[in-house]
Structure 1
Amino acid sequence: MTTTDSSLDARGASSFEVTGGRGRRDRPAAKREGGMTFTHHLVLGLWALLVILPLIWTVYTSFKTSAEIQTDPFGPPAQMQWNNYSRAWTEARIGEYFLNTIIVVGSALIIVMLLGAMCAYVLARFPFPGNRFIYFSMIAGLTFPVFLAVVPLFFVLNNMGLLDGRLGLVGLILSYVAFALPFTVFFLHAFFSGLPEEISEAAAIDGAGDFRTFFQIMLPMAKPGLASVAIFNFLGLWNQFLLPLVLNRERSNHVLAQGLVNLQAQQGYRVDWGGMFASVVITVIPVLVVYVIFQRQLQGGVGPSTDK
């Protein structure tokens, strides 16, 4: 064997020993990483069971009679009681409350997303005197508890005549918009701040005005952020109870949260647990549908999109 071959073999043996030594040293770290992964999966699995099992129980309980619910609350229904849903929709007026909720939440969501996106875009892209003051005033609105504002808000809307008749829904919509706007501006401000400045400059060179640049270029680029904040706002507004309780006095204007509370209070006088569970399922279904449809947008909404 030549001297060159001997030196190559020596270098190969040395690199093998080093690699082997590094591999042995990396094994404890790999074991720790595998243990942490197993722990994470175990915790997430337990958390998923805590969320899913009550939901499954609520769904199959909605097909049971009131007697079955009281005598065997965790057992399966002997026969599917589909009429629970028809009673909940008509006799418990869940259909009417559902329509009111769609009107209030849908209108408030459209208004708050439009105003919030425009406000966040201006505060993020256009420096002017008072810019930071307005932004931090919006942030301060997040720290203001809702229950501190309901009494003065009640008198303001009452003096404006927005608590009587169907105008009560208008007052409720405006209240929803006011309380959801600070979070929307705070959330979208980071997205518009992170968008490339060169894109808006190129649009200006091509002759696009501020409105066209915003609606046709910048707004589509912030689509992940818009989808994420829309889901958060939808969940918060759909489950809102304190504002409707104080501001929504007309029974014909009640939303689902108020309807469920009234239905639960009636169980002490007229027992219909099957209809109540069916009402709960009807209330939960839109939330699940929205989340399932937009879950990828929610997961991807951690930064601005610059695909286009």
Structure 2
Amino acid sequence: MSAETTLAGGTTPATDPAADPASDPARRRAPRRRTPAEGRGFSALHHVVLSLWALLVILPLLWTVYTSLKTSREILTDPFGLPEHLQWSNYARAWQEARIGDYFLNTLIVVGAGLVVVMLLGAMCAYVLARFRFPGNRIIYYGMVAGLTFPIFLAVVPLFFVLNNMGLIGGRIGLVGVIMAYVAFALPFTVFFLHSFFTSLPDEIGEAASIDGAGDFRTFFQVMLPMAKPGLASVAIFNFLGMWNQYLLPLVLNTERSNYVLAQGLVNLQAQQGYQVDWGGMFASVVITVIPVLIVYVVFQRQLQGGVGPSTSK
């Protein structure tokens, strides 16, 4: 009998899987490859979108920089024009008369101390949760993760009363309260981020260090911590940016004017513009605030790009 019979005979035409791609499940699942023309079009679209995004970020920054070198009259009469003469005195006036220098020092103290403490505590906590198994391990970890979902503005009022009862509001010691608040709110993110790095490290290295006589602290500080350096650099940059730009916590917890950080100082300076028209000094203050962030990003750009890709599964 022929392979092909009529439908009345109760048989169906024989089909060749190689001749019918739709009948091959593997071929149906395989994604369609882009043609060279489609690939070039997709790449061009990427470049256009990224170029527009870069312009949206760079142009306002450039405008702020050259506006900081103009007089207040030039800023008000021709806000987008170039300065006739570079007014470097705006920076000196902002640093001294507007007290940006004092605010800058306070910010360095708060952010520097907070960053060191949160990185040390966060790395130790993440290492223990990732490498040791004990009752309550996952509860502590998920409790840390849950801390990421807690809004800051819900905690500032009770936090103010707690720190005030401890004597950490007002006076020079008031910066200690701000540092503690920075550490508390940055710790969950630090633990969550570093947990995946310590989980991805091979167990054989820790076992080899233990065989060589290294204790837990020596293994952590001399073996595991250096291996997690990309992750430490990345999370340190994120924490630095968050602490440097923080405004709500200092606004509520840092009530002493002499303790103001840069975010508070800029808002205070802007509020005074209705009485003292010094727009050049204000823009110079903004540039002074932005410069450290740009320096940190440029210096640690490679660590930031290469430190976010380890596997999160052990």
Report if aligned partners of 1:224, 1:303 keep a CA contact under 8 Å in 2.
no
Give the whole-Å Cα distance in 2 for the aligned partners of 1:194 and 1:31. Answer: 40
Give the whole-Å Cα distance in 1 for the aligned partners of 2:135 and 2:284. Answer: 54
Gaps (5+ residues) in structure 1? 1-25
Report if aligned partners of 1:166, 1:253 keep a CA contact under 8 Å in 2.
yes
CA apart distance, 1:171: 0.3
Q: 1:247 aligned to 243, 253, 261, which one?
A: 253
SS state at 2:308 partner: coil
Matches within 5 A, 1:113-128: 113-128=119-134
**Length-normalised TM-score, structure 2:** 0.88
SS state at 1:217 partner: helix
Give the whole-Å Cα distance in 2 for the aligned partners of 1:27 and 1:214. Answer: 47
Percent identity (aligned): 80
CA apart distance, 1:303: 3.4
What amino acid is aligned across from residue 240 of structure 1 in structure 2? Q
1:33 is matched with 39
Gaps (5+ residues) in structure 2? 1-31
SS state at 1:237 partner: helix
**Length-normalised TM-score, structure 1:** 0.89
SS state at 1:267 partner: helix
Give the whole-Å Cα distance in 2 for the aligned partners of 1:257 and 1:28. Answer: 49
What amino acid is aligned across from residue 272 of structure 2 in structure 1? Q
Q: 1:265 aligned to 271, 288, 291, which one?
A: 271
2:97 is matched with 91
Distance 1:120 1:272, change over 3 A: same
Question: Could you report, residue by residue, the CA deviation over 1:211-245 in whole angstroms, capped at 9, with x for unpaired residues?
Answer: 11100110010011000000000000000000000
What amino acid is aligned across from residue 187 of structure 1 in structure 2? F
1:75 is matched with 81
Give the whole-Å Cα distance in 1 for the aligned partners of 2:121 and 2:251. Answer: 26
Q: 1:229 aligned to 227, 235, 238, which one?
A: 235
What amino acid is aligned across from residue 111 of structure 1 in structure 2? V
CA apart distance, 1:302: 2.1
Give the whole-Å Cα distance in 2 for the aligned partners of 1:299 and 1:139. Answer: 23
Which has the larger share of helix? 1
CA apart distance, 1:275: 0.1
Report if aligned partners of 1:97, 1:259 keep a CA contact under 8 Å in 2.
yes
Match status 1:289 vs 2:295: yes
Distance 1:208 1:62, change over 3 A: same
Give the whole-Å Cα distance in 2 for the aligned partners of 1:135 and 1:280. Answer: 39
Q: 2:52 aligned to 37, 46, 50, which one?
A: 46
Q: Superposition RMSD on alpha carbons, in Å?
A: 1.2
1:279 is matched with 285
CA apart distance, 1:30: 1.4
Q: 1:150 aligned to 137, 156, 169, which one?
A: 156
2:140 is matched with 134
Distance 1:183 1:215, change over 3 A: same
Q: 1:173 aligned to 150, 175, 179, which one?
A: 179
